[in-house]
């Protein structure tokens, strides 16, 4: 089974900052990597798919990169509404695996 490890588990940043979240797969997953945003008390929302493709309607300050085992989610010019937990998810093989999450506080 593929394990997904995110870092950091939490971070605190200010409005306007650039934030980077890392996700590492235990084996190569090519670019089969998705990112979700989950605000407090709400369901997860798809942000990025295929490691670097922005889901429709998601602000362009979000970007993703990586391939193989190492991936990053970057938020440029952090906004108050970006306060949430972020999860990576591999879609390379069954069982589907999520990272443990990164909580972003502003």
Partner 1 sequence: QITLTESGPTLVNPTQTLTLTCTFSGFSLSTSGVGVGWIRQPPGKALEWLALIYWDDDNRYSPSLKNRLTITKDTSKNQVVLTMTNVDPVDTATYYCAHTQGRVRGVPNWFDPWGQGTLVTVSS
Give the interface with partner 1 as residue ranges (CB under 8 A).
Answer: 1, 32, 34, 36, 42-46, 49, 55, 87, 89, 91-101
- Report strand pairing: 102-105 vs 10-12: parallel
Phi, psi for residue 28 in degrees, rounded to 5: -60, 135
Least separation in angstroms between residue 11's CB and partner 1 is 16
Nearer to partner 1, 51 or 78 (CB): 51
Q: Which of 90, 91, 85 is nearest to 105 (CA)?
A: 85
Least separation in angstroms between residue 1's CB and partner 1 is 7
Instruction: Say if residues 48 and 91 touch (Cβ distance below 8 Å).
Output: no
Nearer to partner 1, 7 or 77 (CB): 7
Nearer to partner 1, 17 or 83 (CB): 83
Distances 86 to 8, 20, 89, 91 between C-alpha atoms, Å: 11, 11, 10, 16
Least separation in angstroms between residue 100's CB and partner 1 is 5
């Amino acid at each position: 089974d593929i394990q997904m490890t995110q870092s950091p588990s939490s971070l605190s940043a200010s409005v306007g900052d650039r934030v980077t979240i890392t996700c590492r797969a235990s084996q190569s997953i090519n670019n089969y990597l998705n990112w979700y945003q989950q605000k407090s008390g709400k369901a997860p929302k798809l942000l990025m798919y295929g490691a670097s493709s922005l889901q429709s309607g998601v602000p362009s300050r979000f970007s993703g990169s990586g391939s193989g085992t190492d991936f990053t989610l970057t938020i440029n010019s952090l906004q108050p509404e970006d306060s949430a937990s972020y999860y990576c998810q591999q879609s390379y093989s069954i069982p589907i695996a999520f990272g443990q999450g990164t909580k972003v506080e502003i």
